[in-house]
């Protein structure tokens, strides 16, 4: 069995967790998250904790039972445990990603419900901001802050914004995560 899934997930006092079959709903100060998990896993909500266990199997031999759990359920148990923990962390503190624009004339701004990027194309790149995402741009218009309660949504949106102008390896221009190291290549002049 997954070692991480053996522990119960602690639920803070200001968060409510309700389980209906394989659907988990988590409500907190930053919103409400609902996710449906695999029916191969049993999720139970107790007073102040959530537990994730494998289904009851009708195997009498203990070694065969442990092998069956390890083979078919261990990864699902650990994944489900971590996703529920991320939901609880998301509604209490939220998740944040920071992107930076590197390049002459590269700018970002928020206009209404759109993120507008000026990243070296002949046109501006407009990206609709999804519901549940808070976006901030610094006063120099080169640092973008993406925040939200759903870790998957924050990660996917930040990856989509980064993909609009990937970092090129010669000068390092493009959109990157704050603190990301980009390995640069040598140009043709270095070969001589």
- The predicted pLDDT at position 74 comes to 75
Confidence of residue 136 (pLDDT cuts 50, 70, 90): very high
Residue 191 has pLDDT above 60, yes or no: no
Residues of the chain with pLDDT > 70: what percent?
A: 94
Given a cut of 80, is residue 62 above it in pLDDT? no
95-177 topology per CATH: Outer Surface Protein A; domain 3 (3.90.930)
Mean pLDDT across the stretch 175-190? Answer: 86
Average per-residue pLDDT in the chain? Answer: 88
| Residues 74-82, mean pLDDT to the nearest whole number | 86
- So what's the pLDDT on residue 1? 58
The domain made up of 4-92 is a member of CATH 3.30.360.10: no
% of the chain surpassing 90 pLDDT: 61
pLDDT in the model for residue 76:
84
pLDDT at 190: 58
pLDDT reading at 82 higher than 60:
yes
What integer pLDDT is reported at residue 58 of this predicted model?
58
What value does the mean pLDDT take over residues 115-126? 94
User: Which of 10-19, 55-64, 91-100, 102-111 is least confident?
Assistant: 55-64
User: In the chain, where are the structural domains located?
Assistant: 4-92, 95-177
Q: What is the pLDDT of residue 47?
A: 81
- Give the mean pLDDT of 102-126: 94
Quick one: pLDDT at residue 77?
85
Distances (CA, A) of 67 to 48, 59, 72: 31, 11, 9
Same fold, 4-92 and 95-177: yes
Query: Mean pLDDT throughout 82-94?
Result: 94
């Amino acid at each position: 069995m997954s070692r991480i899934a053996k522990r119960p997930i602690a639920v803070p006092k200001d968060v409510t967790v309700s389980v209906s079959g394989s659907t988990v709903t988590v409500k907190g100060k930053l919103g409400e998250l609902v996710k449906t998990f695999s029916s191969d896993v049993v999720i139970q909500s107790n007073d102040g904790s959530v537990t994730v266990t494998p289904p009851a199997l009708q195997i009498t031999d203990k070694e065969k039972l442990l092998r069956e759990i390890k083979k078919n359920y261990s990864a699902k148990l650990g994944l489900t445990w971590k996703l529920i923990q991320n939901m609880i962390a998301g509604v209490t503190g939220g998740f944040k990603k920071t992107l930076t624009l590197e390049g002459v004339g590269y700018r970002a701004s928020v206009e209404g419900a759109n993120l507008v990027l000026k990243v070296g194309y002949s046109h501006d790149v407009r990206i609709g901001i999804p519901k549940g995402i808070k976006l901030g741009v610094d006063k120099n218009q080169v640092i973008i802050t993406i925040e939200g309660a759903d870790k998957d949504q924050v990660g996917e949106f930040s990856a989509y914004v980064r993909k609009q102008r990937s970092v090129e390896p010669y000068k390092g221009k493009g959109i990157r995560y704050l603190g990301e190291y980009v390995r640069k290549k040598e140009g043709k002049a270095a070969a001589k």
